[in-house]
Amino acid sequence: MDEKYVKKVLRILDKEYPEKKVALNHKNSLELLISTILSAQCTDKRVNIVTKNLVKKYKTAENYANSKLEELQNDIRSIGLFRNKAKNIRKTCKLLVEEFNGKVPSKMKDLLKLHGVARKTANIVLSNWFGIAAGIAVDTHVKRISFRLGFTKNINPDKIEQDLMKIIDNKYWLELNHVLVLHGRAVCKAPTPSCSECVLNKICPKNNVTKSN
């Protein structure tokens, strides 16, 4: 991978999207963790609608841990996979209470012990709340755009993350997910990207892009 190409892509995206922050509304690490668990296969907009009332009802890990499963499921019913997510949230919060004094841990190895938490979720919590660059959160936008840009040839999120960590400087890991998500929503959409409107149009190899606007 050409180092100059990678740096140029990041420099352009950094300039294009100056406001870099997670789209999930939150006021503390627990709210961010719960929102991120809920966001799997669901839009951030929908999650924010649900959590607006959810965080008023469940303020601590103990509140979630002691909740009735059916009631919690009803509270998040409009979110995809709500039954499974409710189970994971209760189990995760019970573990937070039992092993972490009700607090969200700030280490990758501890976050990965939690139910419904894989590396993507852990990276989002670590980077957006704790400011820790332990890796790169690979969601559907990062996966798609990284492939189109030629940053990776893999489709497995964990392997994509490893590829990105090898070619992208650690100091940019915290912001990478944000700029790619913003770019994915605005321009590099699935299945049809708006290449003619893209700031990367002249340098992007457009891997696996068969049709564009």
Residue 121 neighbours by CB under 8 Å, 6+ apart: 33, 36, 37, 40, 111, 137
Residue 120: active-site member: yes
Q: Of these residues, 120, 153, 159, 206, which one is catalytic?
A: 120
Q: Of these residues, 14, 59, 113, 139, which one is catalytic?
A: 139
How far is 187 from 7, CA to CA, in rounded Å?
A: 20
Q: Where are the alpha helices (DSSP H) in 58-189?
A: 61-65, 69-75, 82-100, 108-111, 119-125, 140-149, 157-167, 173-186
Residue 178 neighbours by CB under 8 Å, 6+ apart: 17, 20, 21, 22
Amino acid letter at 108? Answer: M
Question: Which SS3 state, helix, strand or coil, does residue 33 take?
Answer: helix
Question: Which SS3 state, helix, strand or coil, does residue 212 take?
Answer: coil
Query: Which amino acids are annotated catalytic?
Result: 120, 139
